[in-house]
A and B are shown apart, each in its own frame.
Chain A
């Protein structure tokens, strides 16, 4: 029966999908060869959940040792050179915005960004009990997320990983606001629900708005801790751990 075949294929494919969505390896085998294109598409979709994946710090250290043992020549470009060509992006924007983007080559979004692109970065110093993730000095490291501020849409966050820090980055006018990607109730990972414009914690169905504030009725959960960000040459950087 072709229908039963299809159900079996659907069941099998969903097992593989379930593994990928849970962060597990792809367990495809030779018997899956007929569905290889669908499976590879599933892997691509699973991979698209993290727009800028970074190596875990443990794996990065391992690769560092591997490269060190091989003693490669000092061959690579500086980080700055890797992100060349920013002028092209900036050139496409209005001069005023370019100026503001230039000025935001500093920490932004603490504790909350100026809501309507006020050019004064006074928000940085305003007092707040909001907690901020500040990795200790020895391990703190700025991560270039590869995201161009100019290409970010308002109301459409990007999920980024900076070492041990997982964050959602929102564009707010000409600034960015980043916050922890983990629920402040119990540490489940939040997902963005674009139809409702909220971050959702699947574990206990808690909701947070795009400022990271709890939308719970009655008792409010603590706001999502802020993650430090800055914009360098139009690119969003996030403070994480090496």
Chain B
């Protein structure tokens, strides 16, 4: 992953505080993209991103190194996401941590999240893959999916449920 190969040595200190904010915002864009890839909508992604920003400010003041800041931002993002899901489902956070297999890796760029979704889809039986592709990635309505697959709207809903359950069981690292 080329996006992950930057070295701490590449990082440059900036003089102007104004530019500092701009670059801070670009870091926050990465957090936002990471969160958006998981919650799938803007409003929730903004809420979670804002929590991360609030949490990170004291750390920014302390003048940590850029590499450490980024690691901190993503740790904070994962924890804020766990809180988000935990509040939605009324479950303890430790059941809802984002993919433990990612924990030891560098934060994935947003484009990787998309690749990962495609890798998951590839591993599904073709009818499941088809219904999810049409509905989510191609923007077909239920009716259009039903017409395409030669079934009923009710049938599509049930297939969508089964397909999403199956997709959730796919080991994406595989």
B136 touches A49 (CB 8 A): yes
Q: Specify which chain A residues have a CB less than 8 angstroms from the CB of B85 in the assembled complex.
A: 36, 40
B90 touches A30 (CB 8 A): yes
Q: Specify which chain A residues have a CB less than 8 angstroms from the CB of B165 in the assembled complex.
A: 35, 37-38
Interface residues on B, range: 35 or more
A75 touches B63 (CB 8 A): yes
Q: Specify which chain B residues have a CB less than 8 angstroms from the CB of A62 in the assembled complex.
A: 50
Q: For residues 114 through 168 of chain B, which have their beta carbon under 8 Å from a beta carbon of chain A?
A: 114, 117-118, 120, 132, 135-139, 141-142, 154, 157-158, 160-161, 164-165, 167-168
Q: Specify which chain A residues have a CB less than 8 angstroms from the CB of B50 in the assembled complex.
A: 62-63, 66
Q: Specify which chain A residues have a CB less than 8 angstroms from the CB of B6 in the assembled complex.
A: 77, 81-85
CB distance from A137 to the nearest CB of B (A): 17
Q: Specify which chain B residues have a CB less than 8 angstroms from the CB of A14 in the assembled complex.
A: 142, 157, 160-161
Q: How far is the CA of A77 from the CA of B76 in the complex (A)?
A: 19
Residue B75 CB within 8 A of the other chain? no
Q: For residues 131 through 176 of chain A, which have their beta carbon under 8 Å from a beta carbon of chain B?
A: 146-148
B66 touches A76 (CB 8 A): yes
Q: How far is the CA of A59 from the CA of B49 in the complex (A)?
A: 10
Which residue of chain B lies nearest to A27 when distances are taken between CB atoms in the complex?
A: B88
Which residue of chain A lies nearest to B65 when distances are taken between CB atoms in the complex?
A: A75
Interface SS of chain B: helix
Which residue of chain A lies nearest to B170 when distances are taken between CB atoms in the complex?
A: A41
Residue A78 CB within 8 A of the other chain? yes
Which A residues contact B (CB, under 8 angstroms)? Answer: 6-7, 9-11, 13-14, 17, 19-21, 23-26, 28-30, 32-33, 35-56, 59-60, 62-64, 66-68, 70-79, 81-86, 88-89, 146-148, 191-194, 202
Q: Specify which chain B residues have a CB less than 8 angstroms from the CB of A55 in the assembled complex.
A: 25, 28-29, 32, 46, 49
Q: How far is the CA of A10 from the CA of B132 in the complex (A)?
A: 14
Q: How far is the CA of A70 from the CA of B118 in the complex (A)?
A: 39
